[in-house]
Chain A
Amino acid sequence: MTENKEPVTRRHFLKDTLWGTCLAGLGGLTGFIIHKHRKTGTLWQIDPYTCIACGNCATYCVLDKSAVKCMHAFSLCGYCRICFGFFGPEPLDITEGAENQVCPTGAIKRRFVEEPYYEYTIDESLCNGCGKCVKGCNTFGNGSLFLQVRHDRCLNCNECSIAAACPSGAWKRIPAEQPYLLKTQHEAGAHA
């Protein structure tokens, strides 16, 4: 495509100047921003030490099944026989009966390990991220259950609906290189 061959008028000159200014402006903006850009993207994650397990994660996610799931830090777990992440506050019976469980979807599996210890694992396909167990475990237990964004499910929306609804400010953007904020024994100590 060839350039316009008309003689240069004042209007053309002003327009060309403006055009050049715009291009330079875009360049300047790029320069200003690029000096602190990041190569990799960011991801959403929940800071488990700030999270209050309010239950918004289960309902506010744009996905039908929330990308937030409960995770279990086994190293922190007391393997209690009466686990308040598993049982409701007033269990009718210390059995795996659904009426005794705090989890609305029965996503926590309880398995006998050895006297008197029981192992609790999360069935992620059932977990809806409501955090009821997290609240129970934080309140009465070691706090080994905690909510995390599962990145195989998360769409990483630019404006995360759950983050906008989070009452405690636990949701934050974190670098993609380190996609999880796990609770561990060491970190629990560091936060003490």
Chain B
Amino acid sequence: MRCCPYIVVGVTLLLAAELAAENAETAEEKTTLKISASSAHSAVKKEDQRFPPPEFETGYVQPSPTTPAPPQDIYQYMDVLVLLAALGVGAYLVLKKRSRPAIFALAIFSLLYFGFWRRGCVCSVGAIQNIVLSIFDRSYAVPIVVLAFFLLPLIFTLFFGRVFCAGVCPLGAIQDVVLVRPVRVPNWLENALRLFAYVYLGAAILFAATGSAFIICRYDPFVSFFRLSGNWNILTLGGSVLLVSIFVGRPYCRFVCPYGVILRQLSRISRWNVTITPRVPRSGVPDECVRCRLCEDSCPFGAIREPTADWMARDYVTGKKRLALLMVLLPVLALSVGWAGSKLKNVTARMHATVRLAERVYLEDAGKAEGTTNASLAFRATGRYPEQLYAEASAIRAKFTLGGWFFGGFVGLIVGLKLIGLSRRVGRTDYQADRASCLACGRCFEYCPKEHARRKGN
């Protein structure tokens, strides 16, 4: 606790009242002040107004406090318009123009506008939490701008794939500009690391739904760069992620971003999507892949899928058995991890300030903790009974029990589905951009000889 000098001096308020009387006259120079600890933390009320406001005789006019206005709402609406425009331009550049330099330029614009100019807040990634909070907390209303930031990229993804990731998201852009030496992440590692993003999404929803914290914003590694200030922990984290981004393509987007997880799934079923070979003008069907293998290593995000070899008949049998087993295991996995999640409530619930406070007050009252904290002092100054606080804390813990079931169940389900996905045989004859993983950055376009033919033709 930060030590307050008054408590150290600590005796009664009486002296202060005496001083009030002296105040009108000429008070003594040196005074020792004494107060009780509890009064140090109570807000002033009318009857406590110890010194009546004076009536001035010299015509002194009281100044009134200034209240500088917040930035105009118009800027926020402009943000939505810019977002909409950027998404539209992005979709055109990715699907129609197929120009990597243009997509890169759009990403730089977004980095400057949404990142450095608008300081990265509010962003679509963080908006998940506002939406979740508003669903679970009746008293919280989402500002319309936040809703738009959450929704527009999702809708665009349903139509055009992950164009938001390609050129609109400032978090993606800042990683993309530093990517100079991409290394290939092995497939197994890529899949394993990606699970973290799902866990992160689940945790973000859990903590937002219970009104505990917005962890996506709290641990956003880049927002401190956008603000050009921040504490050392978060700057170190951001710096490390950027350092990794030099060699591993957009690690935050691939392995951490909770919004990216949602976009992945929507991108799987998008109306139009990125194709390595250009689409044939009339029919709209992607041109035939000649399997020249030129694009094979062009994707720094491991999103290009190679043609598959046929399975042996024997592999088929074992593969089928494995798939059946995994499908049976899926509910078991979901339930068991869900159970484990619910058992975590005592740990997870501590993210909520009320639970932390209740635990502290309990420890102090039971004589198990020395001294006080600012929070426990503040609570005691309110005059509320600890029992009330304990009841609130148990209600919140109960929420975390239920939430833990869902969180754990979700994680179990994802792991199970991932295993199933990996055991599924996918037949491919061409080099294709994986609809889910493709960030639509457009790097692969110029590797395709068909694309060169298209550009010559134009």
Identify which of A34, A52, A158, A180 contacts B381 (C-beta below 8 A).
A52
Question: B371 interface residue, CB < 8 Å from A?
Answer: no
Give which listed residue, A71, A74, A91, A139, contacts B62 with CB less than 8 A. A74
Interface string of B134-162 (1 = CB under 8 A from A): 11001011111111000100110010000
Q: Is B2 within 8 A of A54, CB to CB? A: yes
Partner among B57, B73, B142 whose Cβ is within 8 Å of the Cβ of A176 = B73
Q: Which of B49, B144, B270 contacts A37 (CB 8 A)?
A: B144
Partner of B54, one of A92, A117, A121: A117
With contacts A81-B27, A90-B31 taken as known, whether A52 is within 8 angstroms of B378 at the C-beta atoms is yes
- Tell me if B126 counts as interface (CB < 8 A to partner A): yes
User: When the two chains form their complex, are residues A41 and B49 in contact, meaning their CB atoms are under 8 A apart?
Assistant: no
Contact of A158 among B52, B71, B217 (CB under 8 A): B217
- CB of A18 closer than 8 Å to a CB of B: yes
Please name the residue on chain B nearest to A187 by beta carbon: B46
Whether B236 is near chain A, meaning CB under 8 Å from some CB there, is: no
Q: Can you sample 20 A-B contacts with CB below 8 Å?
A: A34-B144, A36-B141, A37-B142, A50-B378, A52-B374, A56-B374, A74-B65, A78-B50, A79-B54, A82-B31, A89-B9, A90-B32, A116-B26, A117-B60, A135-B6, A138-B40, A140-B13, A155-B121, A157-B217, A179-B69
Report whether B44 and A52 are in contact in the complex, using a CB–CB cutoff of 8 Å.
Answer: no
B154 contacts A26, C-beta separation under 8 Å:
yes
Q: Are B375 and A168 in contact (CB under 8 A)?
A: yes
A26-B143 Cα distance, complex, nearest whole Å: 17
User: Would you call B95 an interface residue if the criterion is a C-beta within 8 Å of the partner chain's C-beta atoms?
Assistant: yes
B interface list, Cβ under 8 A from A = 2, 4-6, 9, 13, 16, 19-20, 22-27, 29-33, 35, 39-54, 56-58, 60, 62-65, 67-71, 73, 76, 95-96, 119, 121-122, 126-127, 129-131, 134-135, 138, 140-147, 151, 154-155, 158, 213-215, 217-218, 223-224, 227, 229-231, 266, 269-272, 279, 282-285, 353, 373-375, 377-379, 381
Residues of A within 8 A of B51 (CB): 78-80, 141-142
A166-184 vs B: 1/0 string, CB under 8 Å?
0111000100100110100
A189 to B387, CA, bound (A): 30
Q: How many residues of A contact B (CB 8 A)?
A: 95
Verify A84–B33 contact, CB threshold 8 A: yes
Contact A62 B46 (CB under 8 A): no
Other A-B contacts than A40-B73, A168-B374, 14 sampled, CB-CB below 8 A, are: A1-B279, A4-B285, A52-B374, A76-B49, A78-B50, A78-B54, A82-B23, A89-B9, A114-B60, A135-B4, A139-B40, A140-B13, A143-B48, A173-B140
Q: A2-26 CB contact bits vs B (8 Å, 1 = yes)?
A: 1111100000000100110011001
Q: For A107, list chain B residues within 8 Å (CB).
A: none
A142 near B49: Cβ-Cβ < 8 Å: yes
State the Cβ distance, A20 to closest chain B Cβ, in Å: 10
Q: Which residues of A contact B285 (CB under 8 A)?
A: 4-6
Report whether B271 and A19 are in contact in the complex, using a CB–CB cutoff of 8 Å. Answer: yes
Residue among B67, B119, B270 with max Cβ neighbours from chain A (10 Å): B67
Chain B residues within an 8 Å CB radius of A63: 227, 229
Bound-state CA distance A95–B98 (Å) is 73
Given known A62-B230, A94-B29, contact A167–B158 (CB-CB < 8 A): no
> Which residues of A are in contact with B by a Cβ distance under 8 Å?
1-6, 15, 18-19, 22-23, 26, 29-30, 32-34, 36-43, 48-52, 54-56, 62-64, 71-82, 84, 88-94, 113-114, 116-117, 119, 121, 135-143, 150-152, 154-159, 161, 164, 167-169, 173, 176, 179-180, 182, 185, 188-189, 191-192
Whether A41 contacts B143 in the complex (CB less than 8 A), given A50-B43, A75-B53, A114-B60, comes out as yes
Assembled-state Cα–Cα distance A26/B26 (Å): 71
Which residue of B has the minimal Cβ distance to A130? B2
- A71 and B374 contact, CB distance less than 8 A: no
What is the bound-complex CA distance between A90 and B250, given in angstroms?
57
A186's nearest neighbour on chain B, judged by CB, is B46
